[in-house]
Amino acid sequence: MNFLSKIISAFKDHGARPAFCIQNKYYSYAELESIVSSVQLKINENCGNEQNIGIVLHDDIETYASILAIFISGKTYIPIHPGYPAERAGQIFEQAGIKYLLAKTITDTYSGVTTIATGEESPENTGKLSTSSFSLDKTNAYILFTSGSTGVPKGVPITYFNLDSFVNAFDALGYKTDHNDRFLQMFELTFDLSVMSYLIPLCKGACVYTIPDSGMKFTNIYSVLTTHKITFALMVPSVLANLRPYFEEIDLPDMRYSLFCGEALYKDVVAEWMRCVPNAVVENVYGPTEATIFCLTYRITDVHNISEYNGIVTIGTPMQDMEAIVVNDSYKQLPEGEKGELCLYGNQLTPGYLNADKTREAFFELDGKRYYRTGDIAFKNEDGNFIYCGRVDHQVKIQGFRIELSEIEFHLRAITGSSNVVALAMNAPNGMMQISVVFEGAENDPEPVLETLKTKVPPYMIPAAVHFVATFPLNTSGKTDRKALQKMIE
């Protein structure tokens, strides 16, 4: 049974049970089905044969119903964050050829696209979905846009086959979850970890608990974990950095699965966290958007014996129908123990970016298999686990958001006309990562530049600190010495 058939079965089998809890309001599977059916009618009435449909994201049931209606119609969703600057949203509409957007109410309007309000029920709605069989293999289920180093976001299409392969591989991991489970959904829907967090529970008839848009995110997460006795939570490790001062008081005996993904997981923090979740299986999972949500997993079976490198927990072994190898600069596979670039192959791999040039740069063939270069440095240890060691490029993660530092530099160069500007990911005093930028030259007021930057990139890419250095230090090849620069401003 594919994932869509599983969700349709959940509508039938669990009608009275809760599917979502959004801002403390529960929606049963029967209510969800009715809203999905209403949205589907609106899509049919308004969008004709358009394949790619945008969804303006809000923490409401209509947003999730729109995703499901798009899936059940065999179309492709593209999440649009309302906080995106108009220019960035416009680049996404153009690349994905989006003509229609779905939103609960028409508050966010964009030029050149028609917004369809999903909040008012369609008069013809029967409340029941009419569905046939699904065989959508090569059709895209969604397209996510990640930070692109040349200033334009990069579109990653994920097909129904990719997504179904993820769901099957997830099931093969053997987690014992069912309709009684309560899943946390802490991610923005522009981040693919959100897809696991809503899709897996819906395939099982379980309930999804979302995090409110407003207020302090980490306080909201803690509140949902405790109030609703969450049993399955996939989170980014930066949640732990925020909760760490309160670990002594945190006790979550109902948590059965506590997974971390999206950035390096540190052994000392996770070992302390395990005391807060005494009954949970704790895992570090790994994967880029290009390989559908996650595709390697490592289970911590013994808190005193965590496989790690430089304090970072290993990312483990590939999931079903996925393969990982480590290669050198000439794409030659390296033996166990040797560090190189981690490359992925298998059923969860995107067919390629929307931009063919980007695809050529990131994929290569080896022994008849098409591999994706992750940009992550890794090696395989004697236990067969892959060890994450860092990045080959300037991609960083800030609270789970994937950011190309060169994209920030690109925009700052264009705004200021200055060629010497460097963006760095730095440790803030609270242990969290933040972005700092350094301009070469005399100090001046950075506010006007930051204001313009806000019209180009999402809020999480805006630097927290700006520095000026009279002359940049150079390395032996005459290039800006980023490490030395970092030390200078630390």
Question: Footprint of ligand AMP on this chain (CB under 6 A)?
Answer: 146, 261-265, 284-286, 288-289, 315, 374-376, 388, 391, 397, 402
What is the spatial distance between Cα 265 and Cα 312, in angstroms, rounded to a whole number?
A: 6
What's the closest the beta carbon of residue 431 comes to ligand AMP, in angstroms?
16
What's the closest the beta carbon of residue 360 comes to ligand AMP, in angstroms?
19
Q: Which is nearer to ligand AMP, 11 or 379 (CB)?
A: 379
Q: Which is nearer to ligand AMP, 288 or 446 (CB)?
A: 288
Contact indicator for 135, 168 with CB cutoff of 8 Å: no
Q: Which is nearer to ligand AMP, 106 or 392 (CB)?
A: 392
Q: Which is nearer to ligand AMP, 7 or 313 (CB)?
A: 313
Strand order in the sheet with 76-80: 114-117, 100-103, 52-56, 76-80, 140-146, 154-159
Q: Which is nearer to ligand AMP, 239 or 438 (CB)?
A: 239
What is the spatial distance between Cα 162 and Cα 160, in angstroms, rounded to a whole number?
A: 5
Structure tokens at 246: 């309160």
Q: Which is nearer to ligand AMP, 36 or 378 (CB)?
A: 378
Contact indicator for 92, 78 with CB cutoff of 8 Å: yes
What's the closest the beta carbon of residue 70 comes to ligand AMP, in angstroms?
21
Q: Which is nearer to ligand AMP, 33 or 283 (CB)?
A: 283
What's the closest the beta carbon of residue 397 comes to ligand AMP, in angstroms?
6
What is the spatial distance between Cα 11 and Cα 465, in angstroms, rounded to a whole number?
A: 49
What is the spatial distance between Cα 107 and Cα 100, in angstroms, rounded to a whole number?
A: 15
Q: Which is nearer to ligand AMP, 208 or 313 (CB)?
A: 313
What is the spatial distance between Cα 437 and Cα 311, in angstroms, rounded to a whole number?
A: 27
Picking from 163, 126, 158, the residue whose alpha carbon sits closest to that of residue 142 is: 158
Tokens 């909040």 found at? 119
Structure tokens at 276: 């807060």
What's the closest the beta carbon of residue 296 comes to ligand AMP, in angstroms?
8
Picking from 164, 231, 225, the residue whose alpha carbon sits closest to that of residue 195 is: 164
**What 8-state DSSP symbol labels residue 474?**
B
Tokens 């304090």 found at? 311
What is the spatial distance between Cα 405 and Cα 160, in angstroms, rounded to a whole number?
A: 31
What's the closest the beta carbon of residue 14 comes to ligand AMP, in angstroms?
30
* 17: CB partners within 8 A, 6+ apart: 28, 29, 179, 205, 207
Backbone phi, psi, residue 451, to 5°: -60, -45
Contact indicator for 126, 37 with CB cutoff of 8 Å: yes
Contact indicator for 195, 231 with CB cutoff of 8 Å: no
Q: Which is nearer to ligand AMP, 228 or 391 (CB)?
A: 391
Q: Which amino acid is at 416?
A: T
Backbone phi, psi, residue 88, to 5°: -70, -45
Tokens 């079965």 found at? 9
What is the spatial distance between Cα 116 and Cα 75, in angstroms, rounded to a whole number?
A: 16
Contact indicator for 360, 368 with CB cutoff of 8 Å: no
What's the closest the beta carbon of residue 145 comes to ligand AMP, in angstroms?
11
Q: Which is nearer to ligand AMP, 100 or 401 (CB)?
A: 401
Q: Which is nearer to ligand AMP, 372 or 472 (CB)?
A: 372
What's the closest the beta carbon of residue 226 comes to ligand AMP, in angstroms?
25
What's the closest the beta carbon of residue 187 comes to ligand AMP, in angstroms?
10
